[in-house]
Amino acid sequence: MNDELIDDFVAEVKTIHIELKLIVNAQLKTPKMDKALFEKFGQYIDRIYGTAMTLGFTEIGKYLFAMKNISYLSSQCDREVGQKKALRMMMECVDNIEKICSCIYKKEEIKNLNHLFLIEITKAERLAKTDFQTITRRSAA
């Protein structure tokens, strides 16, 4: 793959990473979960997801898709318990995105991250089936 394309991807991810950190910090400071922040997080994740899949980073894409889904489900939910679990996953996602940027050029390190992504995808699927099972809208408007 062309390193220039990867460089552009990393630059985009780093820009979005800043926004994601701001969203998570804002959510942590709100006394009640803010649905709009969950949706906004999902929208930013969607941008990275699309590029990752286009460039062939399938495992990264699958993980980001799961996080996008959890973010959107949280934006449609009134269950604070589920939203708090989602927020913890969003915090981990912010950390994982930073890891993606530092490992993207090293195939062996990406393989290690892919294992972590499988675990996180499983957690997201479990959360969707338990805390968000009644939500039918799966994406942002």
User: Given a cut of 60, is residue 124 above it in pLDDT?
Assistant: yes
Q: Distance between CA atoms of 72 and 43, rounded to whole angstroms?
A: 9
If pLDDT is split at 50, 70 and 90, which confidence band does 131 have?
A: confident
Residue 69 contacts by C-beta under 8 Å, 6 or more apart in sequence? Answer: 42, 124, 128, 138
* pLDDT tens profile 72-86: 999 998 889 999 999
pLDDT of residue 141: 42
Q: What percent of the chain has pLDDT over 90?
A: 75
Q: What pTM, to 2 d.p., does this model score?
A: 0.91
Q: Distance between CA atoms of 126 and 121, rounded to whole angstroms?
A: 9
Q: Which amino acid is at 34?
A: D
Quickly tell me which residue has 């390190």 as its tokens: 109
List phi, psi (to 5°) of 76: -105, 0
* pLDDT tens profile 110-120: 888 988 999 99
Q: Distance between CA atoms of 116 and 45, rounded to whole angstroms?
A: 17
